Amino acid sequence: MEHITTLPVYCVDDDITILKLIEHRLGLEGLKIQGTFQSGEECINSLTNKPGIILLDFKLMGLNGLDTLKQIKKKLPKLKVIILTSLEDSSLKKKCIDAGAYNFINKNIAQDETMFKSILENIKKISTERKPLVIYYLIGAIIILSIILYFMMMG
């Protein structure tokens, strides 16, 4: 089975059934959810573990998805957050994207295949976007080590 990403993925939803469904369904595709949370506050308190991607429900008890997103972006501005919601509201989508959401996916469990396909496509895209950075870091490290070795051999 293809490994989709090595980035730690968190999932936040106040409905435990939805959390389990997402975790199970993505697991069938080879994706391991690294952390599941039932509130925005729980997720925010776990950001020290440095997730790579967060799947965030919009309609949460307590701190809603938009406020959670804003707090996540204050702490980790480059973190990719995908908003999941069953609400059909284009102004809400714009607010989330403006606040830094990577994407906004309709969470319609009746059409779960479409939702899961969209989630997987977004995660693959995020993983692909990050790969060139790793290559640049490796090239930089090789150059630095070469320079160090050169001067060690000269000295």
Predicted confidence (pLDDT) per residue in 73-102, tens digit: 999 999 999 999 888 888 888 999 999 999
Residue 145 forms part of a structural domain: no
Residue 37 forms part of a structural domain: yes
Give the C-alpha separation, 39 to 149, whole Å.
Answer: 51
Q: What is the pTM of this model?
A: 0.79
Please count the CA atoms within 13 angstroms of the CA of 149 that sit on its side-chain side: 6
Do 102 and 80 touch, CB atoms closer than 8 A? yes
> Confidence band (pLDDT; 50, 70, 90) for 116?
confident
Residue 142 forms part of a structural domain: no
Do 31 and 75 touch, CB atoms closer than 8 A? no
Do 68 and 37 touch, CB atoms closer than 8 A? no
Do 7 and 126 touch, CB atoms closer than 8 A? yes
Residue 146 forms part of a structural domain: no
Residue 21 forms part of a structural domain: yes
- Domain at 26, CATH number: 3.40.50.2300
Give the C-alpha separation, 9 to 51, whole Å.
Answer: 6
Residue 23 forms part of a structural domain: yes
Q: What are phi and psi of 4, to 5 degrees?
A: -75, -45
Residue 107 forms part of a structural domain: yes
Number of domains in the chain: 1
Compare 137 and 29 and report the one with higher pLDDT: 29
Element (H, E) at 114: helix 112-154
Residue 121 forms part of a structural domain: yes
Predicted confidence (pLDDT) per residue in 28-54, tens digit: 888 888 999 999 999 999 999 889 899
Structural domain span for residue 99 = 9-129
